Amino acid sequence: MKLTDTGDLWWKSAVIYCLDVETYSDWTGDGRGDFVGLAHRIDHLAQLGVTCLWLMPFYPTPERDDGYDITDFYGVDRRLGHHGEFVEVLRIANDRGIRVIVDLVVNHTSDKHPWFVDARSSRDSPFRDYYVWRDEPPADQPENVFPDQEDGVWTLDKKTKQYYLHSFYRQQPDLNVTNPAVRDEIAKVIGFWLQLGVAGFRVDAVPFLLDTAGVDDAHKLLADPHDYLRALRSFMSRRSGESILLGEVNLPYAEQLRFFGGAEGGELDMQFDFIVMQRMYLALARHEAGPLIEALKQRPALPDGAQWAIFVRNHDELTLDKLSEEEREEVFAAFGPEPEMQLYGRGLRRRLPPMLDGDPRRIRMVYSLLFALPGTPTLFYGEEIGMGENLAIEGRMAVRTPMQWTSGENGGFSTAAAKDLTAAVTEGGYGPRFVNVEDQQHDPDSLLSFIRTLAHSYRTSFEIGYGDFALLPQDDPGLLVHSMTWDEGRVVFVHNFSPDPATVTLQLDGVALFDILEGRREAIPEGGAATVVVDGYGYRWLRVLSS
């Protein structure tokens, strides 16, 4: 594939940045972030090298699940702004070369959504079959997503004396995707936001959206839910040819491949690689690259146009559910030994810098990996400056603290009194006094400057997004060495999980190596055996030059 052929597959070389409007920048001074505040911060994203902005839910909500319990799929929560201000953010972002995708949360609604309010008013409601009901819950039922908050997935509605299904909180009743009226509603929601100018959707909890196990005779109503996902993708392509579906699918690789549409594709364009993320943390805990190498070997071949999204941390708990119990305990012991650092018995509610004790070598090595591994790097807001968590805040909200812009009051997030903020600012060594955008903005040695360098290097190394991946085996267990080859270009990456320096010998077909991050050229000896030195917890990006 030539460089000029990449336009329709823009996501394969994108830099994605996820943020929550209400914790990003407060322009009105009420303690809650808003769209006007975000509009004033778009240039920060452009300078960082972001090319795709992912907005977490901003829809009207009772806030029982931080906005993921939605009462109007077409609305903008009035506390954050209105449609005009949302469109202005789209305009400014697009002017800076940044596409915008939004969260599509259609596996459930809020119990305050008009559909559910009507549905529970009577068994004869026209909206009754928008949800899943039973006279008695089945004896064998799956565990709730939030096992510390809910003891099951069925709750009795006292008025109609039937149980409704909720895979998440009881305030979030599951939608019934076997109902064609529900499928039509979801298509209308997608069409609405595409018409306003969004570039696609990050689809929340896709397996739950397609799970019809709780519906009687589901196979008669919707023989294969994946046919529906394929139809949605086709609908989007007709409305906006370059739009994407980025899915949250935390399943084994073989099952994830089904959500891409199998070998033929045609369903999700991108999926988060939860397995690589989890194996990376196990590798960090062991100071050995082996667990991550194992995951990369297990990745299935993807259909044309499909891509993995790589991430270090997201907005939820840092789940470790795909590790064995023993492996999970290793990661807990290394990065979250205290019970208050863990969540649901399967994950961590911490950010990377505190987990690595602030070691700048390890932190930078991990972010080098984020941009170097085959896939699309995805940043969670605040990662670019090394923000930490606030464990005084309950649950997953510990990592959703206000963005830290300055060292001043409230980290420059808001002029409101601290007690009026939507979430408490992180304190201590990772608080705004020591970690903020303003201080790092013009410091060439700051993490912010380093992330900018990585983003620029990634964007000018199309091999990473589009190329063929190959592991280059090493005897040193601390080393991960891989190459990406695309068209006539080849880049080799070396990452050292060990604190000890290492030497790598690479047999390469070229005359020189160009160190992309350092801007240095090194000759390859005659015969092609190049010797590369990497520091403890070090990293190298090396372009193979033929002349």
- Domain endpoint, select from 165, 192, 207: 165
Residue 485 lies in a domain: yes
Distances (CA, A) of 529 to 15, 508, 509: 34, 6, 9
pLDDT score at 428: 94
pLDDT score at 7: 57
pLDDT score at 321: 96
Residue 120 lies in a domain: yes
Residue 186 lies in a domain: no
Q: How many domains does the chain have?
A: 2
CA dist., res. 541 & res. 367, Å (int): 13
pLDDT score at 547: 83
- Give pTM, 2 decimals: 0.97
Residue 455 lies in a domain: no
Residue with tokens 């709730």, as numbered in its chain: 144
Q: What is the DSSP letter of 206?
A: H
Q: What is the DSSP letter of 354?
A: H
pLDDT score at 8: 79
Q: What is the DSSP string of 443-480?
A: -TTSHHHHHHHHHHHHHT-HHHHHSEEEE---SSTTEE
CA dist., res. 185 & res. 199, Å (int): 19
Residue 153 lies in a domain: yes
- Domain endpoint, select from 124, 148, 165: 165
Domain that holds residue 140: 114-165
Which residue out of 211, 248, 267, 317 is catalytically annotated?
A: 248
Token pair in block for residue 290: 């082996």
Count CB atoms within 10 A of the CB of residue 389: 24
Which residue out of 65, 111, 174, 204 is catalytically annotated?
A: 204
Residue 479 lies in a domain: yes
Residue 472 lies in a domain: yes
248 is catalytic: yes
22 is catalytic: no
- Domain endpoint, select from 165, 199, 234: 165
pLDDT score at 148: 82
**Are 496 and 536 within 8 A, CB to CB?**
yes
Residue 483 lies in a domain: yes
Nearest alpha carbon to residue 541 among 329, 291, 364, 333:
364
Q: If the chain, 547 residues long, is cut into consecutive pieces of 10 residues, what is the mean pLDDT of each piece?
A: 56 98 97 98 98 98 93 98 98 98 98 98 97 93 89 95 96 97 98 98 97 91 95 96 96 97 96 98 98 98 96 94 97 97 94 98 98 98 98 94 97 97 95 98 97 98 96 97 96 98 94 95 90 97 94
What is the side-by-side strand order in the sheet with 154-157?
133-134, 162-165, 154-157
CATH of the domain at 536: 2.60.40.1180
pLDDT score at 2: 36
CATH of the domain at 140: 3.90.400.10
**Are 447 and 385 within 8 A, CB to CB?**
yes
The Cα angle at residue 145 between residues 279 and 185, in degrees rounded to 5: 110
